[in-house]
Chain A
Amino acid sequence: MSLATTLPGQAQTFDERWLALQRAASRFLRNRSATIGASIVLFWLVVALLAPVIAPYSPTAQRITNRLKPPSAQHLFGTDELGRDIFSRVLHGARVSLPVALAVVVMTSSVGILLGAVAGYLGGFVDEVIMRIADAVLAFPSLILAIAITAALGPGLINAAIAVALVLWPEYARLIRSRVIALREMEFVTAATALGVSRRRTLFKHILPNALPIMLVKVSLDMGNAILLAASLSFVGLGAVPPTPEWGAMIAAGRHKFFEWWLAAFPGLAIFTAVVGFNFLGDGLRDLLDPRMRRRG
């Protein structure tokens, strides 16, 4: 415990915040999972930003004479059925998968956090209704529900993202609800209520900020989940539409081509490393932010 430690909900001076930030940064850098995860995630972010610059070819340029070539110095990951450079397509795929995953996580966490917080804070009938709907959604096999929703909305990445978000929100609602219920009984909340702070302000200014660290962990782990689910939807033909260089769709294109292993191998490797990155980051953040959930060993 240091002098700069403040009680939850208590105002901090600028200096205190700066100090706390520095301390957090140094703890972050000493955590192996967090740094490995952050590096991988950073790598894919840079790839996503710079893909047009670093990719040797256009991701959609076709050269039929050059089709299904194995990996070589010219085409690091080989070429696909239409003679497109797979290396370039994998790099550009980051510009598809990462924004989709981000959109999913933003949508699902804001809906889930809002509903979970309201349910936990108000309790009673509202709580009962929201949580029973959450239970019902959780009772669906998530992938089947996502497939049904995407099929209904029509194939496409945005619809796939909406479907995945609709499937994932109950987990956020449950998690944030349990945190809010725990925090609701804390003294600083009672104090705020006693001081005449409105219910809405108490919830959004005093309770929610204290429940956010645990959300950050969930968000990071879910970026990985969202990438996997979106890729699965594209794999069964409901996500990205051609010629979008989406990783799941690229794997689907190599589905029946066992000889041309490079068609499916490299996009899969991209999904795998990106998911590993977000998982490491999430595990590391959990160690840092929530000492009670610290992994043993």
Chain B
Amino acid sequence: MSVLSYFLRRLIVTVPLLFLVTLLGFTITYLIPADPLAMVISERAMANPQIVQAYRERWGLDKPPHERYLTYVSNLLRGDLGESIVTQQSVAADIARYFPATVELAIAATLVAVTFGVPLGILAAVYRERLIDHLARLISLIGVCVPVFWLGLLALALFYYRLQWMPGPGRVNARLELPPTVTGLLTVDSVLAGRMDVLGSALHHLTLPALVLGAYSMSLITRIVRSAMIEVLQQDYIRVARAKGLIERVVILRHALRNAALPAITAIGLSFGNLMAGAVMTETVFAWPGIGRYAVESAAKLDFAPIMGVTLLVAVIYIAINFLVDLSYAVLDPRIRLS
């Protein structure tokens, strides 16, 4: 099957799913008793039926639910994600403003997770039941079980407050004048503008949240690389490779790792998707202006359009990553056919 027809078939399954997601989100917000207006207008204004009525009409809350849903979906089909009741801005504009910060953080966290997780998993498998293996298992256990927000706070208390090695919350030193926005990724934009001071500050600010956020993914990657490598190292072709006198490094990196790459790539892909969503707590703790924090703030104010917008975005990213992971299978292992 060609890549194109595979892509189209996946798309046919995906689009109805996304609509189901919107329907579900809409049903939840409709069924709940709380009133989003109570979050944005004052108590005194709430007592004035005229103001309330005006607001309801302005936001279409006076219409019956099916009509409201149809309006939402028809806007969505035209690429309009609606407006936030709280910020009174279009959700697309809000997301465009916050999303790059999350992408930057997620990429940095994935880099952390892969740089530490993959070698640790390999070492643990090669030196199985030895000290490094026990250490790797301990680290991955901690990474999975530790509350991210707690880890973030401890990191801030130690490295920012006590040792003063790291800057505090935020994305960049607030006193610096920022370079013009091109990609929205502060690191890239500062390089484009030749502003090394901004780049340094941005990287410095990025370090701690990326380490904290990357810890969880690193645990998953370590675990999966370890068990995949252990399985591969027991195969006959590894014995053959050793028997013909290849040095151990080549056996492990060329022969074993390549065959253990499939599960590792799945883990990395899935964890990148999780990072997009999982950044919620990290962004809250580090005052990181990303979509996670935007979603939390909107959720707390029952602002439907932004929650739905972020959800759809994350769902699309998730589906896209799954698709890329499946494609990479076919590239890495010629025996796998797309179907």
Contact B147 A231 (CB under 8 A): yes
A55→B226 CA distance, assembly (Å): 43
* Chain A residues near B230 (CB-CB < 8 A): 296-297
Partner of A297, one of B128, B156, B285, B310: B128
Contacts of B12 in A (CB 8 A): none
Q: For the complex, what is the distance from the CA of A154 to the CA of B311, rounded to whole Å?
A: 21
Give chain B residues whose Cβ lies under 8 Å from the Cβ of A140. Answer: 21, 24-25, 311, 314-315
- A144 close to B20 (CB less than 8 A): no
Verify if B318 is at the interface (C-beta below 8 Å from A).
yes
Question: B231 within 8 Å of A by Cβ?
Answer: yes
Contact indicator per residue, chain A 145-184, by CB within 8 Å of chain B (1) or not (0):
1011101111000000000000000000000000000000
Complex contact B280–A295 (CB within 8 A): no
Q: Identify which of B150, B154, B226, B319 gathers the most chain A CB atoms within 10 Å of its CB.
A: B150
A interface, how many residues as a size bin?
A: 35 or more
Q: Which of B17, B141, B147, B296 is A236 in contact with, Cβ under 8 Å?
A: B296
Does B90 belong to the interface (CB within 8 Å)? no
**A274 closest partner in B (C-beta):** B145
User: Quick one: closest B residue to A229, CB to CB?
Assistant: B147
Interface 1/0s, chain A 243-276, versus B by CB < 8 A? 0000010010011001101001100100110011
Answer whether residue B160 sits at the interface, using C-beta atoms and an 8 A cutoff: yes
A132 CB within 8 Å of chain B: yes
- Contact check, B227 vs A154: say whether CB atoms are below 8 A apart: no
Whether A147 contacts B147 by the Cβ 8 Å rule is no
Are B314 and A251 in contact (CB-based, < 8 A)? no
Given A142-B277, A147-B295, check contact A152 B147 (CB 8 Å).
Answer: no
Give the shortest distance, in Å, between A77 (CB) and chain B (any CB): 15
- Shortest C-beta distance, B66 to chain A (Å), equals 18
Instruction: Report the interface size class on chain B.
Output: 35 or more
User: Quick check: is A135 within 8 A (CB to CB) of the other chain?
Assistant: yes
Q: Are B34 and A235 in contact (CB under 8 A)?
A: no
Of B55-63, B80-88, B241-249, B298-306, the one touching chain A = B298-306
**B281 close to chain A: CB less than 8 A:** yes
Interface flag for A137 (CB, 8 Å): yes
Interchain CA distance A197-B25 in the complex, whole Å:
41
What residue of chain B has the Cβ atom nearest to residue A280's Cβ? B141
> Given A143-B280, A268-B150, are A148 and B299 also a contact pair (CB < 8 Å)?
yes
Partner of B278, one of A143, A251, A272: A143
Check B17–A144 contact: CB distance below 8 A.
no
A141 adjacent to chain B (CB < 8 Å): yes
Check A136/B21 contact, CB under 8 A, given A144-B295, A151-B302, A259-B161. yes
Residues of A within 8 A of B299 (CB): 144, 147-148, 151
A224 contacts partner chain B, Cβ-Cβ < 8 Å:
yes
Most chain-A CB neighbours within 10 Å: which of B17, B29, B153? B153
Closest Cβ of chain A: how far from B290's Cβ, in Å?
A: 12
B174 on the interface (CB 8 Å rule)? no
- Do residues B21 and A258 form an inter-chain contact, with CB atoms below 8 A? no
Contacts of B226 in A (CB 8 A): 297
18 contacts between A and B (CB under 8 A): A132-B17, A139-B17, A139-B315, A139-B318, A140-B311, A141-B280, A147-B299, A148-B25, A148-B28, A151-B301, A152-B29, A153-B32, A228-B147, A232-B149, A259-B161, A261-B157, A279-B145, A295-B227
Report which B residues bind A (CB closer than 8 A): 17-18, 20-21, 23-25, 28-29, 32-34, 125, 128-129, 133, 141-142, 144-150, 153-154, 156-157, 160-162, 226-227, 230-231, 276-278, 280-281, 284-285, 292, 295-296, 299-302, 307, 310-311, 314-315, 318-319
Chain A residues near B (Cβ < 8 Å): 132-133, 135-137, 139-145, 147-149, 151-154, 224, 228, 231-232, 235-238, 248, 251, 254-255, 258-259, 261, 264-265, 268, 271-272, 275-276, 279, 295-297
Closest 4 A/B residue pairs (Cβ): A141-B277, A268-B150, A258-B161, A152-B32
